[in-house]
């Protein structure tokens, strides 16, 4: 078993983003973060992203709304950032308070500023194999595979989870790389049997150590996107590592690459570029 660490890859992506940010003439790229409410984990994630921005030569701007904010107020705040020429990328921290229509809020982000890849436009671009911003965690997963010499073409990939920001786009990106993809979810029958067939397993469930180590096919590549309290992933790491050929640690696997992609895409947005290279065959 070898570890598929994300820290070195994230460093590389951030160094390159910093170099491209410095090479710009005029103002620095700017990422706007938007947070509704004060969920402690979300506050921490936003702070981490702002700190990374500062270290990478990217300005950040923060818009904080109370937990009582309405969908209309959140949409208005995002629309304003969308119209602001000094803002290149917009990140709405997920999840939003339950009474808010999250989809309406995401869709208020103009496609050219959707550096977190959460809009229908970005999803369609991923699905059609067209240029556009990728969803950061799924994009990070593909970059991790690339960096470790894993070619998904012809491989059986099983994605556990079908959320619009993680499981579904991860499946689209793996399909674009010519994997044969099965998407599992809470209504999947015989989940363990699906996982046992997989050459590549992507766990995106949000339940600590939910994927048992003995489900992993010997030699499989395991990507654990889960992040649960206590720094625990969605995969039973100690058991799975004994069977996997490559496995991501939690923390230090998918997480750092996700943030690095967010910043890379912010610089790309400032330079008026999308990021087409992740999607290859795109049929």
Asked if 186 is part of the footprint of ligand NAP (rule: CB under 6 A), the reply reads: yes
Q: Kindly tell me which of 28 and 196 has the beta carbon lying closer to ligand NAP.
A: 196
- Of 91, 142, 184, 260, the residue at the interface with ligand NAP (CB under 6 A) is 184
Asked if 82 is part of the footprint of ligand NAP (rule: CB under 6 A), the reply reads: no
Say if residue 27 carries a ligand binding annotation.
Answer: no
Report the C-alpha dihedral over residues 236, 241, 243, 248, rounded to 10 degrees.
90
Could you give the count of Cα atoms lying within 13 Å of 191 in the half-sphere of its Cβ? 17
Asked if 144 is part of the footprint of ligand NAP (rule: CB under 6 A), the reply reads: no
Q: Kindly tell me which of 57 and 169 has the beta carbon lying closer to ligand NAP.
A: 169
Asked if 211 is part of the footprint of ligand NAP (rule: CB under 6 A), the reply reads: no
- Of 93, 119, 155, 258, the residue at the interface with ligand NAP (CB under 6 A) is 258
Catalytic position from the list 59, 88, 93, 199:
93
How far is it between the farthest Cα atoms of the chain? 56
C-alpha distances in angstroms, 28 versus 18, 19, 20, 57, 196? Answer: 10, 12, 10, 7, 48
Size of the site for ligand NAP (CB under 6 A): 25
**How many Å apart are CA 34 and CA 62, to the nearest integer?**
6
Least distance in angstroms from the C-beta of 40 to ligand NAP = 14
Q: Kindly tell me which of 185 and 212 has the beta carbon lying closer to ligand NAP.
A: 185
Write the DSSP string, 163-185: -TTTHHHHHHHHHHTT-EEEEE-
Asked if 263 is part of the footprint of ligand NAP (rule: CB under 6 A), the reply reads: no
Asked if 255 is part of the footprint of ligand NAP (rule: CB under 6 A), the reply reads: yes
Least distance in angstroms from the C-beta of 162 to ligand NAP = 4
**How many Å apart are CA 56 and CA 29, to the nearest integer?**
10
**How many Å apart are CA 98 and CA 193, to the nearest integer?**
34
Q: Kindly tell me which of 87 and 204 has the beta carbon lying closer to ligand NAP.
A: 204
**How many Å apart are CA 68 and CA 97, to the nearest integer?**
8
Say if residue 245 carries a ligand binding annotation.
Answer: no
């Amino acid at each position: 078993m070898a570890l598929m660490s994300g820290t070195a890859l994230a460093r590389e992506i951030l160094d390159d983003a910093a170099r491209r940010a410095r090479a710009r003439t005029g103002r620095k790229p700017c990422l706007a973060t938007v947070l509704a409410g004060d969920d402690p984990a979300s506050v921490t994630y936003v702070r981490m992203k702002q700190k990374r921005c500062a270290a990478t030569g990217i300005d950040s701007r923060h818009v904080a709304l109370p937990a009582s904010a309405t969908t209309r107020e959140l949409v208005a705040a995002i629309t304003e950032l969308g119209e602001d020429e000094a803002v290149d990328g917009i990140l709405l921290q997920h999840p939003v308070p339950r009474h808010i229509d999250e989809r309406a809020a995401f869709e208020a982000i103009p496609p050219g500023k959707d550096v977190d890849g959460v809009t229908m436009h970005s999803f369609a671009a991923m699905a059609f194999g067209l240029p556009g911003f990728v969803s950061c965690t799924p994009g990070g997963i593909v970059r991790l595979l690339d960096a470790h010499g894993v070619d998904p073409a012809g491989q059986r990939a099983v994605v556990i989870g079908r959320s619009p920001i993680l499981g579904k786009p991860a499946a689209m990106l793996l399909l674009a790389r010519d994997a044969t993809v099965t998407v599992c979810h809470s209504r999947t029958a015989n989940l363990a049997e699906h996982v046992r067939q997989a050459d590549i397993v992507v766990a995106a469930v949000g339940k600590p150590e939910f994927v048992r180590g003995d489900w992993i096919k010997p030699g499989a590549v395991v990507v654990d996107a889960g992040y649960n309290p206590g720094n625990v992933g969605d995969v039973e790491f100690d058991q799975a590592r004994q069977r996997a050929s490559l496995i991501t640690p939690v923390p230090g696997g998918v997480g750092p690459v996700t943030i690095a992609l967010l910043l890379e895409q912010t610089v790309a947005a400032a330079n008026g570029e999308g990021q087409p290279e992740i999607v290859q065959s795109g049929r």
